[in-house]
Amino acid sequence: MVTSPIQQPTAVLPSAAGDLRALGRAPATGPRWRERLLTDLDPVRRGFTEHVRVTEGAGGHYADLVRAAPRLDRGVRLLVGEHAAISAALAALQHAVHLPGVSAAEVRARTRDLLRALDRHRRLGAHLLWEAYQADLGGED
């Protein structure tokens, strides 16, 4: 069993995600709801960009994870693939908020989809860390 875990990147869901959750459920009222959503989306976008920066690449957390537990390579590749999908969802939501013809219901649905994708990504990453550092594969006395 590997005994020196890496830290799980926590920047995926910064505190502003709570505001996004609320906006994803709340009715779009007032003339500035789109601006509020963009303001709340910005730290999520920045946090996710930072998460991608520290996890990907030869010196990133994912490379450390695969070195520690090569059997998890497939799961790590899945996480990297999710990065592209989540980045696209962030960009699509931001673009949709700027378009006056996009309904509030569609913006809320896109917000909920993004939050579900972020939550799934966080859970998968946590599961892989658990597998790497807590699962006992045996072979030791």
- Is 97 contained in some domain? yes
Residue 26 lies in a domain: no
Residue 44 lies in a domain: yes
Say yes or no to pLDDT of 111 above 70.
yes
Count of domains forming the chain: 1
Q: Considering the domain boundaries, does residue 110 fall inside one?
A: yes
Q: Biggest alpha carbon distance in the chain?
A: 67
pTM of the predicted structure, to 2 decimals: 0.77
Average per-residue pLDDT for the chain? 80
- For the record, the structure tokens of 78 come out as 């899945």
- The continuous run of DSSP H or E covering 126 comes out as helix 104-133
Taking the C-alpha atoms of residue 20 and residue 43, their distance in angstroms, rounded to an integer, is: 10
Within-domain flag for 16: no
Q: What is the pLDDT of residue 141?
A: 53
pLDDT at 22: 59
The pLDDT confidence band at residue 10, using thresholds 50, 70 and 90, is very low
On whether residue 27 sits in a domain, the answer given is no
Q: Which residues contact residue 2 at a Cβ distance below 8 angstroms, ignoring those fewer than 6 apart?
A: 68, 69, 132, 133
Q: Is 60 helix (H, G, I), strand (E, B) or coil?
A: coil
Looking at residue 24, its pLDDT comes to 56
Helices (H), 6-103: 16-25, 33-55, 61-68, 73-98
Cβ neighbors of 73 (< 8 A, separation 6 or more) are 66
Tell me the two tokens of residue 8.
């799980």
- Predicted pLDDT of residue 28: 64
The answer to whether residue 107 is domain-embedded is: yes
Domain extent for 58: 33-138
pLDDT bin (cut points 50, 70, 90) of residue 129 is: confident
What is the band of 2 on the pLDDT scale with cuts at 50, 70, 90?
very low
- Express each pLDDT in 65-91 by its tens digit: 899 889 999 999 999 999 999 999 999
**pLDDT score for 19:** 54
Close Cβ partners of 69 (under 8 Å, ≥ 6 residues apart)? 2, 131, 132, 133
**Residue 105: inside a domain:** yes
Distances (CA, A) of 9 to 31, 56, 95, 99: 36, 11, 27, 33
